[in-house]
Amino acid sequence: MKALEALHEAHKIAFSPFVFETAYTMLELGILEAIFDSKSGLTIKEIAKKTDVSEYGVRVLCEMADSADILEQKEPGIYSTTKTGYFLLRDEMTKVNLYFTHDVCYNGLFYLKESIQNGKAEGLKVFGEWNTIYEGLSQLPEKVKKSWFDFDHFYSDNSFDDALKIIFKDSPKQIFDIGGNTGKWSIASTKYNNEIKVKMFDLPGQIKVAQENINRIEEIRDRVEFQTIDLLDKTSEIPSGADVYWMSQFLDCFSEEEIEQILLKIKKNMKPDAKIYIMETFIDDQRFPAATHSLVATSLYFTALANGNSKMYTASAMKYIVKNVGFECIKEHYLHEDSFHTILEIELKK
């Protein structure tokens, strides 16, 4: 029986894109919703009628979904959603992950092997000729962009409330938001404290979007500055003046050597008593296997789509890099009540 089960698992892997596309299609065509809505389950004919999809289409999808435990037949021919089907339909995190996988990653993942062999995100060519996805982020097709931002924001937004309390405990006057993206943190922190000044650093496309977002908000726009920077450019510099350097879901966009270089750029001009806060979803800090699974999968997005050389890190790997360049992690803040993040609080080694 054990060998038979293993063979079944192996087949699930061999056909996994079929299951994935079935789930996506059933969500998009409203089939899962229609089945879930009906308490007593529906026949193929009834689903076809409710969703305006052909009986053939409904049948092939339902048969696959039944075999993949997304649906079940409580009586022969009457389909209901299982708990897994329910989560696909109603769990926000599952949907954010699924749409990110479908819209951003699916086509590019076809080039995973070449990406690994060449140390380059070979899948990115499905969208454009950039070295990293971040150079082209603001130019991605609308649907792709939406799924990318939904994925990014879903995770970081949920942690901001806790993070703000941690960062403001030392009453900083100036924050540098490095890799600030659309300006969400700059907005949240300047709204949270009406004296704080924030300087946001990012690539030109993202700075333009953040500027538009922030300039619309009268109460904060005078307290946010912007600086375009390419941290992969060896000559780029992070200026002095910050009490806090904030890097949220940022360092995972870089290889270990690049992270060292970025930290050294901070170190070069920082005040001796300034603090660095690194917020990440670390692989070794997760309580649930589903979270670990999602994170190691996300690493492959970096491999095939984003840049070809970065990943989701373990907290221990990040602390090792931090120590190597002369910093000390003085505290680890676990935000796991509402999120999957840890914040590393870092200062210069005394």
Ligand X SMILES: C[S@@+](CC[C@H](N)C(=O)[O-])C[C@H]1O[C@@H](n2cnc3c(N)ncnc32)[C@H](O)[C@@H]1O
Interface with ligand X by CB under 6 A: which residues? 134, 137, 152, 156, 179-181, 185, 202-203, 206, 229-232, 248-250, 253
CA 123 to chain centroid, in Å, comes to 18
Which residues is 200 bridged to in the sheet?
A: 177, 226
Nearest-angstrom CA–CA distance, 299 and 311 = 4
Residues, the chain, total? 350
Among 321, 187, 304, 186, smallest CA distance to 251 is for 321
Cβ of residue 110: shortest distance to ligand X, in angstroms? 23
Cβ of residue 30: shortest distance to ligand X, in angstroms? 31
Q: Which is nearer to ligand X, 111 or 148 (CB)?
A: 148
Residue sitting closest to ligand X (CB): 179
Give the sign of the dihedral formed by CA 189, CA 244, CA 324, CA 258: positive
Cβ of residue 201: shortest distance to ligand X, in angstroms? 6
Question: Which are the contacts of 134, defined by CB distance < 8 A and separation ≥ 6?
Answer: 203, 206, 253, 306, 307
Cβ of residue 138: shortest distance to ligand X, in angstroms? 9
Task: Give the H/E segment covering residue 126.
Answer: none
- Taking each helix axis from N to C end, the angle separating 83-90 and 16-28, rounded to the nearest 10 degrees, works out to 60
Q: Which is nearer to ligand X, 51 or 132 (CB)?
A: 132
The first and second tokens of residue 30, run together, are 């409203």
Q: Which is nearer to ligand X, 59 or 146 (CB)?
A: 146
Helices (H), 160-288: 160-167, 184-192, 204-215, 218-221, 256-269
Q: Which is nearer to ligand X, 328 or 332 (CB)?
A: 332
Q: Which contacts of 327-332 are long-range, i.e. CB under 8 A and separated by 24 or more positions?
A: 327/263, 327/267, 327/276
Q: Which is nearer to ligand X, 94 or 227 (CB)?
A: 227
Give the sign of the dihedral formed by CA 209, CA 211, CA 214, CA 218: negative
Q: Which is nearer to ligand X, 68 or 175 (CB)?
A: 175
Radius of gyration (Cα) for the chain, nearest Å? 23
Cβ of residue 90: shortest distance to ligand X, in angstroms? 24
Cβ of residue 137: shortest distance to ligand X, in angstroms? 6
Question: Which are the contacts of 93, defined by CB distance < 8 A and separation ≥ 6?
Answer: 154
Q: Which is nearer to ligand X, 156 or 342 (CB)?
A: 156
Q: Which is nearer to ligand X, 85 or 123 (CB)?
A: 123
Cβ of residue 153: shortest distance to ligand X, in angstroms? 6
Cβ of residue 203: shortest distance to ligand X, in angstroms? 5
